[in-house]
Structure 1
Amino acid sequence: MTTTSQSPVEPQRARDLGVPFDGTPGPANAITDVPGVQVGYTTLVSGPDEAGTARTGVTAILPRGRDGVGVPCAAGTFSLNGNGELTGRSWIDEAGMLALPIAITNSHAVGAVHQGVDEWVHQTHPEVSAQWMLPVVGETWDGYLNEINGGHVRPEHARAALDAAAGGPIAEGNVGGGTGMNCYAFKGGTGSASRVVATAGGEYTVGVLLQANFGDRDELRLAGRPLGRESAAPKPIEDDDWFVRDGERTKAAAGAGSVIVIVATDAPLLPGQCEALARRVPLGLARTGTAGSHFSGDIFLAFSTANPGALTSQLGRGANQGLERLDFVPWGAIDPLYRATVEAVEEAVANALVAARDLEGRDGHASYALPHEEVRRAFA
């Protein structure tokens, strides 16, 4: 079964279960609260068949929406632990901007999704594809539930996720690239949240979308409560010897997996300030308990949708191009954006856990969601 979607199904989020969070969320409490940002998914659930069992997909983010492809956004990246992949980072670090779609998928599908994004841009914006294309594609590993070497994700699935991208409330949990992911040895996946803050004479939104596939069960905390070690839910991904049976020499390492986090804001920022926001992501993750495993690829990207028309880089213009200018929040006024990033990351992880549902995948492997009754009881 292949589905493309953006709207939520059976929405239930951490706040619905009584978990308290700091800060003021936007209307959808999602990355799409940042004006212009759109999100779409392709979710692949099928098999087993000749290619094995599919529990995977693609998540697509359009920073300036469908009509804004090719218009640069100030951007910066940060890697807490580099056991992962986020394509396009070298150009972002060099030029301080991104102008193409962002996609997230599984570890072995990066090439197919990269090709699909290129194809979609060429189809929808040939004036952009006439130059060079360096889209951003991130990944986390879903090989516990998904037959990761089955080639399930193809370029057309990336194109479909981009076609489905829209604003407003978004689906979370077992959707898109998050379909087969696990977090703190519970079922994980896609999560999002936002914060609205006032600073430097304006009101701005910070939105986060993440693909949560990290953490040891004993680490998990929600609003300071050690729900991981208190949970009665089974954790076969940590307790079973499936990694040995798969032909490896040792058990899977607790906490292995990865997390990709995308931070968006309409606050006008310099590229270095975007990088500074990306560096605050680990503080939000740490609030949920993780220490950052060596076997987890924890890579983050932040971008600003302000200053359209700046940070351009076009072939053929050379020295004839005039000066460009950026408005930006003064460094001394940036702390509210830091706090918003930390708060939104923390809540996005909780939303991914709460939205996720039990899922059985390849070879009878099963992942169990964080029990809602345990959360309600903890915060009653």
Structure 2
Amino acid sequence: MGIRDIGVRIGHGTPGPFNGITDVQGVRVGHRTLVENRAEVSIRTGVTIIEPRPGIARFEPCFTGCHVLNGNGDATGLEWIRESGLLSTPIAYTNTHSVGVVRDALVAAERTSVGGSQYWCMPVVLETFDGVLNDIWGQHVTAVHVHEAQAQATSGPVAEGSVGGGTGMICHEFKGGIGTSSRRLEPREGGWTVGALVQANYGRREALRVAGYPVGDVLREVPSPFEARQAGVPGMGSIVVTLATDAPLLPHQCEQLARRASIGLARVGGGTEYASGDIFVAFSVGNRGIPPADYSTPGEPLMSLRAVSGDFISPLFVAAAEAVEEAILNALFAADDMEGQGVHVHALGATRLLKALEQVGWRRDAHPAAHRVAD
């Protein structure tokens, strides 16, 4: 159940059938979740895989762009995206100390899949810090977990909340994690789809806004995980975002789309903390036949491409901002309470959120779905 199932509508756009990044044809998502207690440590982590194209077709690159709003984080593969405008591997989300093992596992998987016919690959791995709930120094994510997440990647509904790379994440001092959403443009606007998948692990409680309402102002009495001894400080963490679209965009247009994730983040109350790494990637599956840039086999000197006219790109920007905003709220809404490393993190939850919305002026009588949940 997502945020709109309780009658909270984000923006004016229409989601796709799954309200997820998988509404973009061919995109698949897989998770591997690790929740375990060992002696004196808690394991609350995992890995999430986003495949731009299914099966062997994913070795056909996608035009891609990236944007860093705040660089207090890390990612692999972004320099090659900036240079070439291409994405030729899956994208992975995990925790800060597992970036290396996930990247290496993806390299090994790509080599196996293509039989050594390509010279190299540069996987994109994005991270956020889960060390409040998780024994991050233990580096519990392994190559096996990466391969299991890849094997489980499917289209259709995407599991959200405390799953995959988002298992141990905290957002606005509530339990955070993985969230997704999508927007499908009207035919007069091109009819394309934009989907977002976020790993939300950022933000102060008082900054939280839902559909523009300052609910964080009335949620301060909920205990913060950062009140626990040595559990960090409010606002620390990061958010990583992947945007996908079937609109035929060129690399610089993908970069423009990635920048609009900043708007969705700001609407929820993020994007202003120095201790947060806010890193965004956007890819387009709207062009086919793009040759891989591995230099192993010379291709044709020219290729035919399509691109959205500047007169029609603004609706895509609107869709991206709305999808990111709703994806973050879905991450919050889907997560459950979690304990780890001696810290308890409360979930936002439907009842708590509806009460807070009413306190700041949101009218339940205008939203029938809210009555069904409350009852």
TM-score (norm: length of structure 2): 0.91
Q: CA deviation at 1:99?
A: 0.7
Specify whether residues 65 and 233 from structure 1 end up closer, same or farther in structure 2 by C-alpha distance, changes over 3 A only: farther
- Preserved CA contact (<8 Å) 2:49 2:149: yes
- Write the distance in 1 (CA, Å) between the matches of 2:186 and 2:87: 26
Match in the other structure for 1:75? 64
Q: 353, 361, 364: which one pairs with 2:340?
A: 361
Deviations 1:19-74 (A, max 9, x none): 12221000000000000000000000001237x21100000010012322311100
- Write the distance in 1 (CA, Å) between the matches of 2:145 and 2:265: 29
Letter in 2 for 1:86: A
Q: Does 1:27 align with 2:5?
A: no
Match in the other structure for 1:84? 73
Q: CA deviation at 1:228?
A: 1.6
Query: Equivalences for 1:29-48 in 2 at 5 Å?
Result: 29-48=19-38
In the alignment of these two chains, the number of paired residues is 357
Match in the other structure for 2:373? none
Where do 5+ consecutive residues of structure 2 fail to align?
365-375
Match in the other structure for 2:174? 186
Match in the other structure for 1:327? 306
Match in the other structure for 1:161? 149
Q: Moved runs in structure 1, 4+ residues, more than 4 A?
A: none
Q: Does 1:307 align with 2:279?
A: no
Match in the other structure for 2:367? none
Q: CA deviation at 1:275?
A: 0.1
- Write the distance in 2 (CA, Å) between the matches of 1:37 and 1:175: 18
- Preserved CA contact (<8 Å) 1:200 1:333: no
TM-score (norm: length of structure 1): 0.90
Q: 276, 282, 285: which one pairs with 2:262?
A: 282
Percent identical residues: 46
Q: CA deviation at 1:374?
A: 2.5
Measured on the aligned residues, the alpha-carbon RMSD in Å equals: 1.6
Q: CA deviation at 1:311?
A: 5.2
Specify whether residues 316 and 240 from structure 1 end up closer, same or farther in structure 2 by C-alpha distance, changes over 3 A only: closer
Deviations 1:218-258 (A, max 9, x none): 00000111112212663332333324xxxxxxxx3321100
**Quick check: 74-83 or 282-291, which moved more?**
282-291
Where do 5+ consecutive residues of structure 1 fail to align?
1-11, 244-251
Match in the other structure for 2:193? 205
Specify whether residues 240 and 171 from structure 1 end up closer, same or farther in structure 2 by C-alpha distance, changes over 3 A only: same
**Matched position secondary structure for 1:149:** helix
Query: Equivalences for 1:39-118 in 2 at 5 Å?
Result: 39-49=29-39, 52-118=41-107
Q: CA deviation at 1:170?
A: 0.8
Specify whether residues 200 and 117 from structure 1 end up closer, same or farther in structure 2 by C-alpha distance, changes over 3 A only: farther
Match in the other structure for 2:323? 344
Match in the other structure for 2:218? 230
- Preserved CA contact (<8 Å) 1:80 1:292: no
Match in the other structure for 1:216? 204
- Write the distance in 2 (CA, Å) between the matches of 1:56 and 1:77: 25
Q: CA deviation at 1:375?
A: 2.1
Letter in 2 for 1:367: V
- Write the distance in 1 (CA, Å) between the matches of 2:54 and 2:221: 40
Q: 13, 17, 27: which one pairs with 2:2?
A: 13
- Preserved CA contact (<8 Å) 2:246 2:284: yes
- Write the distance in 1 (CA, Å) between the matches of 2:5 and 2:297: 53
Q: CA deviation at 1:93?
A: 0.5
Q: CA deviation at 1:126?
A: 2.1
- Write the distance in 1 (CA, Å) between the matches of 2:120 and 2:197: 27
**Quick check: 134-143 or 19-28, which moved more?**
19-28
